[in-house]
A and B are shown apart, each in its own frame.
Chain A
Amino acid sequence: MRPSAPPGLLSTAWILVRKDLLLEWRSRARANALVFFALASVLLFSFALGPDTTFLRHAAGGTLWLAILLASVLALGESFRVEQENAALDGLRLAPADARALFLAKALANAVLLVLVGAVILPVLFALASVDAVLGLGRLAGVLVLGCLAIAAPGTVYAAIASHARSRDVLLPLLLFPLLIPAVVAAAKATSLVFEGDPMLQSGSWLGLLGAFNLVYWSLGFALFPRVVED
């Protein structure tokens, strides 16, 4: 038997990320549906919160992140359904692929999808709420990325659990939403500051909170995900 050189943890994660992104591209009808769902949410919020444009401008940050949050539940659930169809996840485990690499890949791919959704919503939000990136698009992109990463890490762990439980459609948001409150608040506040300017320099603390949240939950997810998928 010729000896082979199997890839290390990060290489495995990189192989799997490409697989996950390729899968998302192949089923892009699903990604499109996700984007339209998020857009519909933005519209609904705008209409439900009333025609007062000043208020809508102030609420734009929150609206963005609520729409992304709702879309994330669909995206996260879907990302594991595709693994369950033919027990592909078992196939990966047996390859063998380190479960931690599985986590990194899945969470990263989910984050990318969410950033994409956010990027599509933003121009619509600019128009609907008459906002602009006062502090710059770079800062806005940074908040978007940090926030989506924050949703994706614990979301991937919970989605893996929920995909095997009963009432998975209820269980995932039930577990995920309370956990994400600090991240969503921080992201929404930071976004609002980008839209409205930051005279009192508060962005730092909100971004700090987002950063800390990411650090904690990516670490926990990395450590605990193997216990979820392996027996």
Chain B
Amino acid sequence: MLKKALIALTLLAIGLVVWAAWLGLAWAPPDREMGDVQRIMYVHVPAMEMSLLAMTLNFICCVAYLFRPRWSTDSLAEAFAEVGLFFGTYGLVLGSIWGKPTWNTYWTWDPRLTAMAIGLVSYAGYLALRRFVDDAERRAVWSAVVGIIIAVDVPIIYLSVRWWRSLHQVQSSPATVDPAMVHALRWNFVAFFVVFIVFVMARYAIARARREQEMTPPPLVLEAAR
């Protein structure tokens, strides 16, 4: 049943991505100041939003695990971390591509970019930790601890553009943006969100399967016991 849902969602995701890509690349009008370069926003912004969402959900799973240890929670945390790292790296690369023609540089040390870079390396470290601990229960507890510690960075990534004067744009609201662009952006959000769900489901299934493989089932009662 899960497999069918996954296949259905994957097809939906593909369809949505194609639709949203058309909206963003062809249908929406070019930006008044930046021209067609601005179209990267339609993929960069949703990618980053998904990354931050994943990081936040990872944090929630880590806290949940420390209160109620469940393999499902631990596997979800692992899935969110990896998907968050993927979307974040993707978004960062897209941002760099946008940066070159816009600010004339691929990278700059402004607070939001710095915070995001720190975040990505942190989650890479989180995943490395999981690889280097063999005992499944310890791995779950320790990565929950590390996940909580590195989550401090996430609100900083989000709020940095509001707190400090930085090169990165402040969040815009729909009121100030052309409705056609808003429309295209919204569809891209939907598309990315469905892709996000597909990735998390698949990655969760892999993590769960690995946990099952690591554990032998509890021993049965033997007849000749004392």
Residue ranges of A at the interface with B (Cβ–Cβ < 8 Å): 154, 157-158, 161, 164-167, 171, 174-175, 177-179, 181-182, 216-217, 220, 224, 227-228, 231
Interface contact A228-B142, CB-CB below 8 Å: yes
The stretch of B8-16, B33-41, B81-89, B129-137 that contacts the partner chain: B129-137
- CB of B148 within 8 A of chain A? yes
CA distance A6 to B89 in the complex (A): 52
**B7 located at the interface, meaning its Cβ lies under 8 Å from any Cβ of chain A in the complex:** no
| A224 to B142 alpha-carbon distance, docked (Å) | 9
Beta-carbon contact of B142 and A166 below 8 Å: no
B60 part of interface (Cβ distance < 8 Å): no
Q: Within the assembled complex, what's the spacing in Å between the Cα atoms of A166 and B139?
A: 12
Residue contact A228 to B149, C-beta cutoff 8 Å: no
* B152 lies within 8 A of A216 (CB): yes
Which of B124, B133, B144 has a CB less than 8 Å from the CB of A165? B133
Q: Does B99 touch A at the CB level, under 8 Å?
A: no
Cβ contact within 8 Å between A171 and B129: yes
- Most B CB contacts (10 A, CB to CB) among A175, A228, A231 go to A175
- Tell whether A164 pairs with B138 under 8 Å between CB atoms, given A154-B149, A171-B132, A216-B152: yes
Minimum distance in angstroms from B96 CB to a CB of chain A: 19
Q: Is the CB of B152 within 8 A of A220?
A: yes
Quick check: B128 and A174 within 8 Å, CB to CB? yes
Which residues of A lie under 8 Å from residue B150 when comparing CB positions?
178-179
B141 — which chain A residues lie within 8 A by C-beta?
A: 227-228
Beta-carbon contact of B114 and A166 below 8 Å = no
CB of A166 within 8 A of CB of B149, answer no
**Are A181 and B118 neighbours in the complex by a CB distance under 8 Å?**
yes
Do the beta carbons of A175 and B129 come within 8 Å of each other?
A: yes
CB pair A227 B66 closer than 8 Å: yes
Residue pairs across A and B with CB atoms within 8 Å: the count is: 60
Contact A175–B146 (Cβ < 8 Å): yes
Complexed CA–CA distance, A154 and B7 (Å): 43
**A-B CB contact pairs (8 Å), 7 listed:** A157-B145, A167-B132, A181-B114, A217-B152, A227-B141, A227-B145, A231-B137
Q: How far is the CB of B83 from chain A (nearest CB, A)?
A: 19
Supplied contacts A161-B146, A165-B142, A227-B141, 14 more A-B pairs, CB within 8 Å? A157-B149, A161-B145, A164-B133, A164-B138, A166-B133, A171-B125, A175-B146, A178-B150, A179-B118, A179-B149, A216-B152, A220-B148, A220-B149, A224-B148
Q: Is the CB of B144 within 8 A of A161?
A: no
Query: Once bound together, how far apart are the Cα atoms of A195 and B136, in whole Å?
Result: 49
A-side contacts of B138, CB under 8 Å: 164
Closest 8 CB pairs of A and B: A178-B121, A165-B132, A166-B132, A175-B125, A224-B145, A178-B122, A174-B125, A178-B118
Residues of A within 8 A of B133 (CB): 164-166
